[in-house]
Structure 1
Amino acid sequence: MTDYVSTTPGLFPLPDWAKDDLSDLKGHQKHDLISGDEGEEITAAYEQARADVLEVQREADLDRVVEGQLRWDDMLAHPLAVHDAVETRGIVRYYDNNNFYREPVVTGDLEFDGDVAAELETVSELIDDDDDLQAVLPGPYSLFDLATDEHYGDDEEFLAAVGDFLAGELEAFPDHETLFLLEPSLVTDSPAEGLDELASEAIDTVAAATDADVVVQSYWGALEEKVHAHLLDADIDAVGYDFVSNQEDNLYNINEYGTADDISLGLVDGQNTLVEDPEAVRDRTDWVFDQLPVAEFDTVYLTTNTETFYLPYNKFEEKLAVLAEAASLAEVTPA
């Protein structure tokens, strides 16, 4: 029997109160932030905001809960932006939207840091069952794509180093049931010939560092055929497909090349404020499976197609509830 799991790719919007409070606090503590010391007040505000988004996920009855990545001002570039061997320089547009991040320039060896593990540990201490915990990391190719290398010397070595770095960070994580590796760059800046295979190898390196189920979530379109085929060579449990942005090409990839034993369906729009109906999401799930010659999966993850950072907080809350109810409907009337 298929298990339907409601979850998200993380990267949540800040609660409304936290946006105002943190903006004021950061304005007064710019020097501390540049030096890497957030200060007690900022740390306390993030702790409260983290508790708030955890409560929202619990109230929505999501099957997997995430830390929320509320401190990730640099979005997916965050694990490098806070690293001692990285200099943050100019402001860069984050993919093709109105968000920006500080360019992380790698100037030394990417040794263990532990920042993301510490974040996840705080959530692990707040929940009763680690089986509900989902970790979130940028995929190695996307982190490689967002960064600039001034140390390793060539793309192949740099990509491998990023994969090794993420694997080392992951090994320090508390017990977690699922890992979402977010890989939008596999779609938006598809790896060139040769690098596509190395991207899959880097993903495999990261996946090998955890006993959790690993989902590689791509979004903002569909993977190129060769990239999709190489991705399936990695030892992962599921590929995530953005069925909001591109239905036809994602279906083609699955039908032409197959997919993993599990699948993640991005069926709720993570950027649009229109709130979907749970029954409509359930119908979309049926529609996807109706297009596949074989639609038998051990686990089906129902999620937003992108991170939800872009949403107003009240819409974000509503979309979590939609995902949870849609998964419950799918369990009652399986495809």
Structure 2
Amino acid sequence: MTDYVSTTPGLFPLPDWAKDDLSDLKGHQKHDLISGDEGEEITAAYEQARADVLEVQREADLDRVVEGQLRWDDMLAHPLAVHDAVETRGIVRYYDNNNFYREPVVTGDLEFDGDVAAELETVSELIDDDDLQAVLPGPYSLFDLATDEHYGDDEEFLAAVGDFLAGELEAFPDHETLFLLEPSLVTESPAEGLDELASEAIDTVAAATDADVVVQSYWGALEEKVHAHLLDADIDAVGYDFVSNQEDNLYNINEYGTADDISLGLVDGQNTLVEDPEAVRDRTDWVFDQLPVAEFDTVYLTTNTETFYLPYNKFEEKLAVLAEAASLAEVTPA
């Protein structure tokens, strides 16, 4: 029997009160402040905001709970932006939207840091291990968002990023699921040769955890060869953005297959229109109706992108939609 799991890719919006308080505390110089050296008042504000988003997930009755990544001012670039061997320089547009991050320039060996593990530890003490989902940038996306001034060539740098993330992951508390977020596999598709190395780097990260590993791509569909190589990695599920691109994602699955589990991005993580749970369930059925074989051990129902872009009240409503849609799917499976 298929298990339907409601979850998110993390990277939540800050609660409204926290946006105001943290803006004041940071002196309106958000990108000039190196995360991790915030001081007691800012640290306390983030701790309260983390508790708030944890409570929102509990109230929604999501099957997997994430830390929220509220400190990730630099979005997916965060694990490098706070690293001692990285210099943060100019402000760079974050993919093709109105958000920005500080460019992380790697100037030395990417040794263990522990910043993300420390964040996750605070949540693991409050919930069951079976409910906890870890979130990391995928190695190719982190490689794509960064600039290398140390390793010297793309192949070595990508491998180093994979090794770095694997080392960070090994320090994580026990968790049931890991979401590796890989939008760059879609938006900046790896060139010939690098597509295979991207899969190898993902495999390196996945090997560092006993959790179920979901590689969540978004903002479109993977190119055919990238999708085929991704399936060579020892992962449990591929995530597909069915909000942005239905046709090409279905083609990839039908042509090349997919993993034993699947993650369906069916709720829009950027649009404020709140979906109906029954409609999301119907979309799930529709996807499976398009596949010759639609038997999966686990189906993750999630937003198609991170939810950072949403107003906080819409974010709350969308979590509830995901949880209810998963419950409906369990009752009336495809």
CA distance, structure 2, for counterparts of residue 247 and residue 51 of structure 1: 36
Are the equivalent residues in 2 in contact too, given 1:32–1:38 (CA < 8 A)? Answer: no
CA distance, structure 2, for counterparts of residue 103 and residue 282 of structure 1: 40
Are the equivalent residues in 2 in contact too, given 1:32–1:39 (CA < 8 A)? Answer: no
The gaps in structure 2 that reach 5 residues or longer are none
CA distance, structure 1, for counterparts of residue 319 and residue 325 of structure 2: 10
With over 3 angstroms needed to count, the CA separation of the structure-2 counterparts of 1:88 and 1:60, relative to structure 1, is: same
CA distance, structure 2, for counterparts of residue 7 and residue 201 of structure 1: 26
1:171 aligns with 2:191: no
Deviations 1:128-185 (A, max 9, x none): x110000000000000000000000000000000000000000000000000000000
Deviations 1:82-104 (A, max 9, x none): 00000000000000000000000
Percent of matched pairs sharing the same residue = 100
Deviations 1:7-34 (A, max 9, x none): 0000000000000000000118889934
CA distance, structure 2, for counterparts of residue 155 and residue 198 of structure 1: 10
Are the equivalent residues in 2 in contact too, given 1:180–1:217 (CA < 8 A)? Answer: yes
Paired residues for 1:202-213 under 5 Å: 202-213=201-212
Deviations 1:261-291 (A, max 9, x none): 0000000000000000000000000000000
Are the equivalent residues in 1 in contact too, given 2:242–2:304 (CA < 8 A)? Answer: yes
Deviations 1:223-268 (A, max 9, x none): 0000000000000000000000000000000000000000000000
1:195 deviates by 0.1
With over 3 angstroms needed to count, the CA separation of the structure-2 counterparts of 1:16 and 1:108, relative to structure 1, is: same
Deviations 1:38-62 (A, max 9, x none): 1000000000000000000000000
Give the aligned partner of residue 307 of structure 2. 308
After superposing on structure 2, the runs of 4+ consecutive aligned residues of structure 1 that deviate more than 4 Å are 28-32
Are the equivalent residues in 1 in contact too, given 2:35–2:71 (CA < 8 A)? Answer: no
Deviations 1:46-80 (A, max 9, x none): 00000000000000000000000000000000000
* 3-state SS, counterpart of residue 28 of structure 1: coil
Aligned length: 334
With over 3 angstroms needed to count, the CA separation of the structure-2 counterparts of 1:38 and 1:251, relative to structure 1, is: same
Superposition TM-score, scaled by structure 1 size: 0.98
Paired residues for 1:232-243 under 5 Å: 232-243=231-242
The gaps in structure 1 that reach 5 residues or longer are none
Are the equivalent residues in 1 in contact too, given 2:31–2:102 (CA < 8 A)? Answer: no
With over 3 angstroms needed to count, the CA separation of the structure-2 counterparts of 1:35 and 1:134, relative to structure 1, is: closer
With over 3 angstroms needed to count, the CA separation of the structure-2 counterparts of 1:308 and 1:14, relative to structure 1, is: same
CA distance, structure 2, for counterparts of residue 318 and residue 232 of structure 1: 33
With over 3 angstroms needed to count, the CA separation of the structure-2 counterparts of 1:254 and 1:144, relative to structure 1, is: same
Are the equivalent residues in 1 in contact too, given 2:262–2:299 (CA < 8 A)? Answer: yes
With over 3 angstroms needed to count, the CA separation of the structure-2 counterparts of 1:30 and 1:195, relative to structure 1, is: closer
* 3-state SS, counterpart of residue 98 of structure 1: coil
Query: RMSD of the alignment, in Å?
Result: 1.3
* 3-state SS, counterpart of residue 273 of structure 2: coil
* 3-state SS, counterpart of residue 302 of structure 1: strand
CA distance, structure 2, for counterparts of residue 234 and residue 280 of structure 1: 33
With over 3 angstroms needed to count, the CA separation of the structure-2 counterparts of 1:39 and 1:180, relative to structure 1, is: same
1:126 deviates by 1.4
With over 3 angstroms needed to count, the CA separation of the structure-2 counterparts of 1:31 and 1:57, relative to structure 1, is: closer
CA distance, structure 1, for counterparts of residue 194 and residue 59 of structure 2: 43
With over 3 angstroms needed to count, the CA separation of the structure-2 counterparts of 1:329 and 1:153, relative to structure 1, is: same
CA distance, structure 1, for counterparts of residue 224 and residue 98 of structure 2: 29
With over 3 angstroms needed to count, the CA separation of the structure-2 counterparts of 1:34 and 1:210, relative to structure 1, is: closer
1:37 deviates by 1.6
Are the equivalent residues in 1 in contact too, given 2:114–2:168 (CA < 8 A)? Answer: yes
Are the equivalent residues in 2 in contact too, given 1:267–1:305 (CA < 8 A)? Answer: yes
Are the equivalent residues in 1 in contact too, given 2:214–2:263 (CA < 8 A)? Answer: yes
